[in-house]
Amino acid sequence: MSYRKGSKVWVEEKGEGWLEAEVVDAKDRAVVVLTSQRKKISVLPEKLLPRDTDEDLGGGHVDDMTKLTYLNEPGVLYNLKRRYALNEIYTYTGSILIAVNPFMRLPHLYNEYMMEQYKGVRLGDLSPHVFAVADASYRAMVNDSRSQSILVSGESGAGKTETTKLIMRYLTYVGGRAVLDDRSVEQQVLESNPLLEAFGNAKTIRNDNSSRFGKFVEIQFDKTGRISGAAIRTYLLERSRVVQITDPERNFHCFYQLCASGKDAELYKLGHASTFHYLNQSKTYELEGTNNEDEYWKTKRAMDIVGISRSDQDAIFRTLAAILHLGNIEFSPGKESDSSKIKDSTSNFHLQMTATLLMCDPDLLVSSLCSRSIHTTEGIIIKALDCAAAVANRDTLAKTVYARLFDWYFLSHFFINFVCFHNAHIYNTFNIFRLVENINKSIGQDVDSKAQIGVLDIYGFESFKHNSFEQFCINFANEKLQQHFNEHVFKMEQEEYKSEKINWSYIEFIDNQDMLDLIEKKPIGIIALLDEACMFPKSTHVTFATKMFRNLSSHPRLEKTKFSETDFSISHYAGKVTYQTDSFLEKNRDYIVAEHCNLLSSSRCPLLSGLFTSLPEESVRSSYKFSSVASRFKQQLQALMETLSTTEPHYVRCVKPNSVNRPQLFENQSVLHQLRCGGVLEAVRISLAGYPTRRTYAEFVDRFGVLVPELMLGSYDERALTESILEKMKLNNFQLGRTKVFLRAGQIAILDVRRAEVLDNAARCIQGRFRTFIARKEFMKTKEASISVQAYCRGCFARKMYTIMRETAAAIILQKHVRRLILQRNYQEACSAALLIQSCIRGFIARRYFSTIREQKAALVIQSFWRKRKVAMLFQHYKQATIAIQCAWRQKLARKELRKLRMTANEAGALREAKNKLEKKLDDLTLRLTLERRMRAAGEETKLVEISKRDKIIETLSAECAAAKSSARTEHDKNLLLQRQLDDSLEEIAMLRGNKILKAEEEKQNSNLKNIVKSLSEKNSLLENELSTARKSSDDTMEKLKDVEGKCTHLQQNLEKLQEKLTNLENENHVLRNKAFNISPKTVSEKFSASIGLPNSEHKHIFETPTSTKHLAPIPHSTGTRRQKLPVERHEGNHEILSRCIKENLGFKDGKPVAACIIYKCLLHWRAFESERTAIFDHVIEAINGVLKAKEADGRLPYWLSNTSALLCLLQKNLRSNGFFGTPSRRSAGSLGLGGRTCQLVGRGDTLAQVDARYPAILFKQQLTACVEKIFGQLRDNLKKEISPLLSVCIQAPKSTRAQAGKASKSPGVGAQQPSNSHWDNIVNFLNLLMDTLRENYVPSFFIRKLITQLFSFINIQLFNSLLLRRECCTFSNGEYVKAGLSSLEKWITDVTEEFAGTSWHELNYIRQAVGFLVIHQKRKKTLEEISQDLCPSLSIRQIYRICSMYWDDKYNTQGISEAVVSAMREMVNKDTANLVSNSFLLDDDLSIPFSTEDLSMAIPATDYADVELPECLHQHPSVQFLLKAS
């Protein structure tokens, strides 16, 4: 392929795998590229791979990698990397799911709500998820009645076990049993995981919880799709880990759990894990974030759930403890050279503990460890073992015991269907199958199940620095699975080709059968040669390698290494792996030691003796019996492949993004290696062998329509246009299917090159036109500037001449005005001097006259204020004296009233003896009252003494006030005289101003008067202070008296309440005593238990059918009056008329429901509300419930919502609670007593009558309220079900609409067409029909408003959740489509007015803001604050991040949010995930009832039932003749 300058390519790099690059120079033999690291590299063209030029648009990633423009290795790698950076850990490759381990908790992805979202949804409709794969397998099993399998693979730490857990969890969710028992199969399947992890998982270098075996979980289903049983198979347990581990790895988890079990560990004489040889080979004993003791109890709990008995549990843990003790047994040389013995007392202790725990003979145990027997024709020969052989013998026993225990554990308690006995003579087949059968019966395995779903969790391809026998077997298994995988991928390719009706017969299939023949073919396969070498005791790995190279040297996939004679390399599908054969023979030999079998078969533990049955006689001749691990594994693998071949496979490939187990870290080289090992790139190769590029015709035309612009105008056939484009480009390697075009590898690159050339030419044309436009614009600007300069110069010359002329004229005018100003100034100075002299003279005369008048007025003011002051003081004195007298009189009256209250309180009779508790309370209150009285009396005495003292003080003060008054009068007289003298003196002063002697005498007199006035004012101030103190003391006394009066009033109220409660209890006891004499003891107990359960009825589900009153004990209510109970029970014959009113549609009259009014009139006339016992209310409720349960009930729900709400409103407005059934807050002051009339009409004229209701009526009102809530909830749920299909097609724009938008955007000369909103019109029509139905049935606007509000809330939730789950909905064009639909809903809300719509528009906040965000332009310029606060204030950061990660512009190909904003949101989302602030980005539906009984009574107006006439169809009924007479 030729590359041009500017082409985007991928270049291979050792450290990063592949790098993004751009061609900067294209030469003949080499291409110079600029990498993303800003380095220039010269490479050959064939080493480059093309990169999509538009990959940065549309989010930069796809959820299905078959949609990639270039399906190649770097495209797959970087697509996963981009999605992983957005926490999108799941990606499809066709039907294959790739799961990247996030190494962090993402709880919002796995909650029950998310499982419900994926339930029944076609694979690919929603975002990739492991639940989608599980649901696809389940639906295929149910629909096709064919077994399915899910194959989960990946390297250690990639998340295989967690993925398997999630798959099993989802399958148990969708296929849970209809009837749950104490120990269901679902629980056992889920609880099998901690057991598998405890006994088969261990810490490795790469993973803290690595599975050291493979397992196949088979979940069985019945015909209805319910789980009916389960089975588990295990493969290739790593037995060598029991006796040998390396630091920092660990042994199996169960050993550490047992050592940390506390009392159980003490029971088995176990200490810390560091004290045991099999565990202390590594210094890692604890795992971060894991408590061994807690895990131990979880394991025991799981054993209980899966059905392991306590005796078997004890045997299992005793066996584990025995293995640990066995590892601590050490040996020393014996007396003979080749013999051995127990080393010391510590080893002897562990030996005794091992024998005790295994329940066998210690001497026989020592003999089996330190010697072996050889059977000959002459007899048995006992051969001693040296120390090394004894240690190896000990380790063999430990591995054998653990392996048998593990096999038994899953054979017998996880009900395996397939058991492969390679050496049938070793096992007692009959006993084991009998054990499986018995346990399967007790647990519930479905042997008749015809459909199963198998989940395979098996180790992935492994390639380390040192690879041994385990890696050989693991890679052999992966080769087998890869062949199955290739066949499946090829089959899927064929099915797609068939569905598209294209020719595929010449497509080559990539197979690895030659690799499988190399390993397993007989008689010269590697496994066959290995078994042959193991048969000879003197064979070594050297002889095995030599024979293998001699027989298989010509095989193309087998190579001999250069630096070793025994190592060999195999070219697997995932790459070349070099194996070291040093331990191949030892690990392949699975010796069965006869002494070990005999020892443990003689054990007194039934479990151990069952595991190690006695060997047949022919097998006892040799002490060691050889069994090939590789051959047994090959047979198990073959059986697994046979099982998988009968099922439909589904694949999940788990990927570990980095080797340090850290989140948000993606290592390209490691992931690339895993993609090769997982077969994902192999699937890519298979796709490349056929037609890797597949595009729908609409997508193809949208991308390459620019190549034929002449055909894009107007309407066109997309298929024909696609063919025209390909023919014009002269391409031959393509085929046209029904809906897609299929291109061979490299064809899309040719089209992209041609497209780039067309776009470049178009860009050059646009640039030329733009440069022409800029040049012309510059010329026009220069021309206009020159004209402006010329005009400016002429203007400047004219303005200069004009300035000179204006200055000359101005000079003349200035001279004239200056002369005038000089003359005017001289004249004004002369005038001002004359005026100044005149004004000074006149001012002197006026001031002298003014001072005289001011002195006269000041004297008058002083006199007037003094007279006013004396009168005011006299008035205040009289007023204070009057108040003091009044206070004294009120005190006297208050004391009299207090004495009366005390007498009234003392006359209250004692309570009856039957109420002991109330008497005690009353005695306490009486005692408190007496104490209060004594305290009050003592206080009153002290107050009286104080009052008497204050009275005396007041008398003395009054006397002093009288003396002061008399002295003031005398002074007043003197002042009058002085005033007269002052007047005379003033007259004399006026007449004789020049007389200074008289003036001096008058001044002396004035000073004397001032002194007198000062003395009088001081006396008055003293008197006022004394009066104020007296007034304050009297006010304090009055406040204390008021407090005493308040306490008395409070005590009196408490006394009245106690009397009321006492009366209520007496009446209740009276009624209960009467009931006890009238009914049987059994009925009493039933009613009493029902009455106790009555208050809890409020906690039932809001949609529960109201309970009939005949199931509850009616609490009788007696008023104690002389009126007899009304005989309402005789009206049982009237039930028929009520049934007809309920079953028939009586319609409405003037907007009033006829049925509700007739029922209320009848009940009121029959005085049912006043009856203490009646069944008529039960009949009404049962009849309404019967109508609601009928088939046609859904259509009558609005009718009955209107009737029941009207009837409930009548009851709330016209019924009044009487006695202790009433609400205390609503009880009037006049209804404290329970006696009186039971029926009392309140109101005047046209007001409705209120009835004192009894208990059945109150209960009827409660039941009717529940009935209204039930009808409302049922109506709302029905509406949600009806509108859900309409919403599912409204969230995504139809393809025709998107195509029209694409055409409009590509042809600038044609106007854009408006998208079709037919789906949204259906929703509007649905809402209009709903409103018409509700209005026809006269449903109150309150209910309509609540119903429409909740319906719009549901619309908001469904649209918003669908938007977040489907990437194809998060597009620009789809946002425009949904926005147009929302505008139609807004118009509908405006048309129906706020009375009926309420806050419905605000309920759409989430979807409105999300869609508004999709359709805004220049998203890249928006900051996080603008998005979260201005554009989407209602959305959480997690929801905004989800939209940003899924958004792509399919209309203008613009870029989304900037990387900085996305990174900031990702950090916030990670913090929220770590802190568990928010678990989900989806919205939950609100199922609550949005109103209460009080809301109904306040919102619904009262109904006047008086003018509602009886329908003609009921005129003949005798029970309602009173209604005809009344009319």
Question: Would you say 553 and 654 are in contact if contact means Cβ atoms under 8 Å apart?
Answer: no
The helix (run of H) or strand (run of E) holding residue 1422 is none
Out of 87, 93, 153, 210, which one is annotated catalytic?
210
CA distance 485 to 492: 10
The helix (run of H) or strand (run of E) holding residue 248 is none
The helix (run of H) or strand (run of E) holding residue 208 is none
Out of 159, 454, 460, 690, which one is annotated catalytic?
460
Out of 60, 157, 229, 737, which one is annotated catalytic?
157
Q: In sequence order, what DSSP letters do the residues of 50-95 get, joined into one string?
A: E--TTTTGGGG--SBGGG-SS-SHHHHHHHHHHHHHTT--EEEETT
Name the burial class of residue 90, with classes exposed (0-12), middle (13-18) and buried (19+) by CB atoms within 10 angstroms of its CB. buried
Residues in the chain: 1527
Q: Which residue has the tokens 């200069």?
A: 800
Phi/psi at 214 (nearest 5 deg)? -105, 150
- CB-based contacts of 887-893 (< 8 A; 24+ apart in sequence): 887/1034, 887/1037, 887/1038, 888/947, 888/951, 890/1038, 891/947, 891/1037, 891/1038, 891/1041
Helix, strand, or coil (residue 992): coil
User: Helix and strand tally (H, E) in the chain?
Assistant: 45, 30
For 1098, residues 6+ apart whose C-beta sits below 8 A from its C-beta are none
Q: Which residue has the tokens 């901690």?
A: 194
Question: Would you say 678 and 154 are in contact if contact means Cβ atoms under 8 Å apart?
Answer: yes
Q: Which residues pair with 93 in a beta bridge?
A: 96
Question: Would you say 1068 and 1172 are in contact if contact means Cβ atoms under 8 Å apart?
Answer: no
Say whether 462 is catalytic: yes
Measure CA 844 to chain center. Answer: 96
Out of 69, 207, 354, 1134, which one is annotated catalytic?
207
For 347, residues 6+ apart whose C-beta sits below 8 A from its C-beta are 328, 329, 330, 331
Nearest alpha carbon to residue 97 among 75, 114, 80: 80
1106: left (phi over 0), alpha (psi -120 to 50) or beta: beta
CA distance 23 to 35: 9
For 289, residues 6+ apart whose C-beta sits below 8 A from its C-beta are none
Helix, strand, or coil (residue 1173): coil
Nearest alpha carbon to residue 1434 among 1452, 1410, 1416: 1410
Question: Would you say 6 and 26 are in contact if contact means Cβ atoms under 8 Å apart?
Answer: no
Say whether 603 is catalytic: no
**Hey, which bits of 1000-1128 come out as E strands?**
none
Out of 87, 127, 137, 161, which one is annotated catalytic?
161
CA distance 478 to 214: 12
Give me the amino acid identity at 444.
G
Give me the amino acid identity at 111.
N
Phi/psi at 1284 (nearest 5 deg)? -60, -45
Phi/psi at 221 (nearest 5 deg)? -125, 150
Say whether 207 is catalytic: yes
b/e sequence 112-140, b meaning 16+ C-beta within 10 Å = eebbebbeebebbebbbbbbbbbbbbbbb
DSSP 8-class letter at 466: S
**Whole-number Cα distances in Å, 1271 to 315, 868, 1328:** 60, 82, 21
Say whether 659 is catalytic: no
CA distance 711 to 717: 10
Out of 87, 91, 211, 1217, which one is annotated catalytic?
211
CA distance 600 to 360: 7
Question: Would you say 510 and 689 are in contact if contact means Cβ atoms under 8 Å apart?
Answer: yes
- Write out the catalytic residue numbers: 156-157, 161, 207, 210-211, 460, 462
